[in-house]
Chain A
């Protein structure tokens, strides 16, 4: 122990770490594995959930309204099933019988609370003075004459028709409601398992928020898992090509694998212990494993490549390893601390899952630091290394590249810095072009099943975006009902809003029926008693429970539901603003009117994303700057540490603007990837600059630093190019994550080795003087 201490470090913590790894390797490895196993065992509690509502803060106004609606009227997250055949009228006996069979089969589903189709709907007729409430489809087999009568009724009642039949009469639509909005994947699976065999022979389309939500987690999981395999394969190839050592690459992957396992386990444990939805793995968390993979890879690559360099110079494993640990323990610790701090700023995000994201990835990063600092050297020390192997004796491809890059940068630092500054300036202008959009349809590539269904529903049906308006007031008061109808008409003025319905429509229809089916009376009656009589007559003839999805038990709250074709986020903003304006200026002030539904929730999501990104970026940069200033004992170092990051963030968002990549709740997370990864490169560079400035001549300093840290930085960045495989994903946000991760790697690594090194070279006299 004494020998180790005196040889490598006077710092007691560093020397203790070196001592533990090199003198007690088995103990270090076993303890590391046991702790990993303990933390990782939480994987059994790890839960994937893609309920978009769980992303939003609980005090969000539209979420409160939405939850109140769910509570009062049942789940609004429905699945639409459309079936038919292009070019054929759906009004035929076979299709009607199939609809009946499907409805009956779905009604037996354990996850299914209610469904609406022609087979479950009622009709109100006035027959020879009778007000008759009857089933729209009274039995399975109808004659063509009966079907024509049914069609005639629907043509007369277009509000009803739009809910059940496509505009071209070629498809029937069934709306299925789950018991609750949790476990939508089970709901979706059950529904599809029931419907598919019955609808064989028909063109079938499934749609709706519940279907997307129920389908997406598994699809994304499968997609990312498949592509990650390709990505990891590429990573292995790049590492093997450069490290030229299978055990060396395996050791890097050991750090990656164990830290990922610990992070997922930690997330499971925290969810189990706190029960907080913030620790569910949502769509917003998709990038977490990728980010940790890059960070753990970075830690591992730095240690292994440095060890090989030291072994090449010292020809003795123990000495090389001790020297590696002595020079890397501090920078790896510092990169971990700064990255954890950067991600910790996510806890300030108003988006719920980002809180859990920040905490959990922090645990993963901390564990990657521990494993690469103590366990990895211990494992390396146990291996018998062949000192004559190419991995040890010869420079790798990237080392040669770095030599050339170093020459260029350090020969012309001003030009390099100016070129970097120009690129950043170009990026800065692009930021103003960034468009915020959380349009769900854009999450899927054209040609994918979900995107095609969404397009189909938009084209043929009433659309899949729902707008819910909760109106609190006396639902039997004619003035309230009239106000609701006026609001509905205003809502339908937008060409994308195809239909709306509420209890006011039902009252109008009942009024007309009671008044001998005279269209003149398809209006709201002029007094409350009449409205009440209509409900009473319906209760005797039909079932008031038919209205449970549009009016509450006490007739004090009504729900207007409108369907819209997909809107862009800008359109959503303008639409909700306009509707709120109408409510304020024309509706009775005693009525409380809340707009919610996916369309409004998405609007709120956008506001939060922008706020969240801005907070995350600003706080991360400040925190990293402060930490770097403290550790490197100079504010100038703190500033230099954030320069490559800031440049990369600006370039990233700027290029998003130029290339039309929308800022969504998925892509917003990319700023964290850049910061998380970029800070590592900068810190490694600065740490080595400071360390070597004490022992190397100023003229050779930058060159030595670039040689020393340039290789692992480039190797780390290049090995992460494997994430380019995500560009092949069926999910557009995952493509963006893949593409932008690659971009982040390139921009931050090159930024560090050009802009930062050029700046350090330009400022080296000031930087060295203070260090000595």
Chain B
């Protein structure tokens, strides 16, 4: 799960001055081979009502393969999700529905749809294709005591984005995005995103994301607990037969 989101941002080192060059280096940043975490996602609506989801996530190949087992809420316990991304065809997604005792393949082509009713859409969770976006660098800024590059990312038409632009603050030392503002098609601020990281082995990995949908007055806080990287996850794990059994932590 963590990696799943991790890729939505950027991923590499930045030395060049143009927006595109910075984006390229962020994109080329080294990532773990596999990742394991217990993920807690708290959704809060405008009335202060909250929903909490807890799940176990395992992923590999830069998040191209991911399996999630739901632990909470109680209603969802036992439901699990497998995703395998393909570069030349639609992503393969399967779910185990314990009440029906059936595995069902699912598909979503709507990039703007929310992921699990959170404020993160599939588009937010996907890596940005450098060729489908325009990157321009604007004045550097300090954010939360960190010296940051600020990039303006404008999706091209072929990106089929639900946004008109993003402003991203990228910490110069780690080349990790620490803040992002996303604007809707009307040009109005839609989401504020804030990211915090920690260093595991030689990687910077995300440990918390906080997203606020300004227009809906809804927030999502995702926290990655028990983070482990490069644990040697077996490739065969990403098979539908493994959906039915929740792994022990």
Contacts and interface: CB of A to CB of B under 8 A. Distances in A.
Interface of A: 107-108, 110, 122, 129-135, 138, 476, 514-515, 525, 527-530, 532-533, 536-537, 539-545, 553-554
A536 B76 contact: yes
Nearest to B81: A540
A248 B235 CA distance: 101
21 contacts: A107-B186, A108-B185, A110-B186, A130-B107, A131-B104, A131-B106, A133-B108, A133-B110, A138-B109, A476-B75, A514-B104, A525-B99, A533-B97, A537-B95, A539-B117, A540-B81, A540-B95, A540-B108, A542-B108, A544-B114, A553-B49
B75 A130 contact: no
B105 A131 contact: yes
B117 A132 contact: no
A539 B186 contact: no
B110 A122 contact: yes
Given A107-B185, A476-B75, A537-B104, A134 B99 contact: no
A442 to B, nearest CB: 39
Contacts of A533: 79, 97-100
B49 A540 contact: no
Contacts of B108: 132-134, 540-542
Nearest to B103: A129
B93 interface: yes
A83 B116 CA distance: 35
Contacts of A122: 110
A740 B63 CA distance: 76
B109 A134 contact: yes
B45 interface: yes
B110 A132 contact: no
Nearest to B113: A543
Given A130-B105, A532-B75, A533-B97, A539 B116 contact: yes
B106 A540 contact: yes
Given A539-B116, A540-B93, A129 B105 contact: yes
Contacts of A129: 104-105
B64 to A, nearest CB: 17
A541 B90 CA distance: 13
A304 B182 CA distance: 71
Nearest to B109: A134
A541 B185 CA distance: 23
A134 B115 CA distance: 14
Contacts of B75: 476, 528-529, 532, 536
A284 B169 CA distance: 56
A543 B105 contact: no
Interface in B28-83: 45, 47, 49, 51, 70, 75-76, 79, 81
B76 A530 contact: no
A135 B110 contact: yes
Give the interface SS of chain A, mostly helix, strand, loop or mixed.
mixed
Contacts of B115: 540
Contacts of A529: 75, 98-99
Contacts of B110: 122, 133-135, 542-543
A526 to B, nearest CB: 10
A508 B163 CA distance: 33
A126 B106 CA distance: 9
A530 B98 CA distance: 8
Contacts of B117: 539, 543-545
With a 10 A CB-CB cut-off, give which of B45, B51, B105 has the most chain A CB atoms. B105
A5 B117 CA distance: 84
Contacts of A537: 79, 95, 97, 104, 106
Nearest to B121: A543
B248 interface: no
B241 interface: no
A541 B106 contact: yes
Nearest to B44: A553
B102 interface: yes
Contacts of A130: 104-107
Contacts of A110: 186
Nearest to A547: B117
Given A532-B76, A533-B98, A537-B97, 9 more contacts: A108-B185, A130-B107, A132-B107, A133-B107, A134-B107, A537-B104, A540-B95, A541-B107, A545-B114
A238 to B, nearest CB: 56
Contact of B45 (A514, A530, A536, A553): A553
Given A110-B186, A514-B100, A529-B99, A554 B106 contact: no
A133 B49 contact: no
Contacts of A138: 109
Nearest to A527: B99
A539 B108 CA distance: 10
Nearest to B73: A532
A528 B104 CA distance: 19
A285 B51 CA distance: 47
Closest CB pairs A-B (n = 5): A529-B99, A543-B113, A541-B106, A132-B107, A544-B117
Interface string B104-135: 11111110011111000000000000000000
With a 10 A CB-CB cut-off, give which of A131, A514, A553 has the most chain B CB atoms. A553
A541 B93 contact: yes
Nearest to B74: A532
B185 to A, nearest CB: 6
Contacts of A527: 99
A514 B101 CA distance: 11
Given A514-B102, A541-B106, A545-B117, A554 B49 contact: yes
